[in-house]
A and B are shown apart, each in its own frame.
Chain A
Amino acid sequence: MILRGRCHVFGDQVDTDALAPGPYMRKPLPELASHCLEAVDPRFAREVQRGDIVVAGRGFGIGSSREQAVQALLHLGVAAVVATSFARIFYRNALNLGLPALACPALVVRAGDELEVRPQQGEIENLSQGTRFACEPIPAPLLAVVAAGGLMPWLEARLAARRGA
């Protein structure tokens, strides 16, 4: 898997209320996603393009267990999230739902830089600046989930194997 996209840069502690605001939580995903990150950057949901990459600081996704925080980003076409560090539930949710999430404390970017991300190898190239960075490894059970395309396909395969046995 190789992802290439333009990056949007956010700060530390981007929380799940910013990603999936409570007042829209009972609404269908497209409506919820149109408010994604509006408390931090009101233009983001309008301006993000399919394949873009979200880059952020420490504790990305802190707060709620709501998966809509991940699904809103997926709905808007975000291809990957790269952060200094992640909140633990968001990190598991992202990879379980097929949104590559990579912890890369060393990454140096400017907004709008073009990045190439190889999630399974844990590598990021900043094409705009000609620099390369190594990410923290994804834990083995999640790497298997990523390889299967998410937790649902992983579960399907496991159940099929069990039925076949």
Chain B
Amino acid sequence: MAGATLAEKILARASGQPRVRPGQIVTCAVDLLMMHDSGGPRRVAQRLAQLGARVWDPEKVVVVSDHFVPATDLDGAEILALTRRWAREQGVRHYDGVGICHVVLQEHGHVQPGMFCVGGDSHSPSGGAAGAYMVGVGATEVTGVLVTGEIWIKVPQTLRIDCAGRLGAGVSAKDVMLHLCARLGMNNDAFVVEYAGEAVAALSMSERLVLCNMAAELGAETGLVAPDATTLAALSEAGRPFAGDAGAWRSDDDARFDARVVVDAAALPPQVAAPHSPAHSDSVECAPRGVRIDQAYIGACTGAKLSDLRMAAAVLAGRKVAAGTRLLIAPASTAMTAQAAAEGTLATLTEAGAILLPTGCGACAGMGAGMLAAGETCIASTARNFKGRMGSAEAQVWLGSPYTVAASAVKGRIADPREFLA
């Protein structure tokens, strides 16, 4: 009998089964439930009241306000006030405007190897960076988890993605994911993705978060990376207690993967996705020359962590944003903003002419500052460029890594960052 994959091991543990197999439907006990201000208390408080039910375990619930922060209108302000009240009444942990949910969970060590987690957000697979199995659901299912502490899962097949060699200068996890979206398409719902290989082993937790985060764009159930020394060091730094055997969660050597893909990481050039889909990705070398950029946006869980700000700074150091182009930067957490300020990264960005925006999901979700008008063209470090997502349905949004977005801001048109890093 072949061994089990990491995903199968976590699902077996969470469902109390000795072994699970793809296609099997299992009921899993939830170790952590995350919700945010958009899909959280605003949408579940009334449902819980209607059911006359209490939160099954307040210790296992984390609320993060990130979508409507800081409030830009009365609707948003009321949603945020309701979120604060509900979190206080229920006695659950609430991070209020200090970062984007997936990044906050990682910063504070909430998601740990082997855990089974549920998030009320489609980019919840981000939790897989810590070697956990974390799935996104809608607000009604969040209500179900709040009441029962359980959720049903159809065990997915495991797609193993091996990233061979090291990524080159100016190439990042974002480029790997854009490449995979073009190569594998966005309908991989039968799969959980396990990322491995030399390039992945060399990546920081922030970069692994990008790989898992964009499993959502592959349409996969979730994504994960087996824990290693990098994972354990990050957990130690976060300061939350974790199990002694946390590093032992991995696919068996003789595990059977239902599908395998190899990415030649060393040869991968920077990628850009054309409007209006991450699957419209190709090498930046193939991008049309004359596309003028009105707005360059470095933001979101996918693209504005400290590692992303450093990538942008590497390109922007000693340079200026092109006339007629605006560069907006919304850091993914306030702790990362503080760190970027302390180390000088922030000054490099603002001296180049970047406009600093509040921490939050912001324009990525068409909700904060930085919305686009009809006819405008944007290049963003975010995960999605669906039509109308960042404002007008008549706007054009390209996607790239923070390196590529910064390089494009300097040139005022889509640019290859490698020429700035030589």
Contact = CB atoms under 8 A, between A and B. Distances in A.
Given A89-B137, A96-B140, A65 B186 contact: no
A133 to B, nearest CB: 20
A88 interface: yes
Contacts of B387: 15, 17-18, 39-40
A161 to B, nearest CB: 12
A139 interface: yes
Contacts of B79: 26
Contact of A63 (B68, B122, B140, B148): B122
Interface of B: 25, 38-39, 43, 47, 50-53, 68, 73, 75-76, 79, 120-122, 124, 136-141, 143-144, 147-148, 152, 154, 186-187, 189, 219, 221, 277, 279, 365-367, 371, 384, 386-391, 393
A62 interface: yes
Contacts of A140: 25
Given A25-B367, A159-B52, A159-B147, A65 B136 contact: yes
Contact of B366 (A21, A86, A151, A158): A21
B137 A159 contact: no
Nearest to B38: A25
Contact of A141 (B25, B187, B219): B25
A140 B137 CA distance: 18
17 contacts: A26-B73, A40-B387, A62-B219, A63-B122, A63-B384, A65-B120, A65-B137, A66-B138, A67-B138, A85-B187, A87-B219, A89-B138, A92-B137, A139-B154, A155-B144, A155-B147, A159-B53
Interface of A: 13, 15-18, 21-23, 25-27, 38-40, 58-59, 62-67, 70, 85-89, 92-93, 96-97, 139-141, 150-152, 155-156, 158-159
Contacts of A40: 387
B25 A139 contact: yes
A67 B221 contact: no
Given A18-B386, A151-B140, A151-B141, A85 B189 contact: yes
A26 B68 CA distance: 9
Contacts of B25: 139-141
B247 to A, nearest CB: 30
A23 B187 contact: no
Contacts of A22: 365-367, 388-390
Given A22-B389, A58-B187, A87-B219, A93 B140 contact: yes
Contacts of B187: 58-59, 62, 85
The interface centre, meaning the residue of B53, B152, B388, B390 with most chain A CB atoms within 10 A of its CB, is B388
Contact of A17 (B137, B143, B388): B388
Nearest first, the 6 A-B pairs at minimum CB distance are: A22-B366, A93-B138, A39-B393, A39-B388, A17-B386, A26-B75
B53 to A, nearest CB: 6
A88 B189 contact: yes
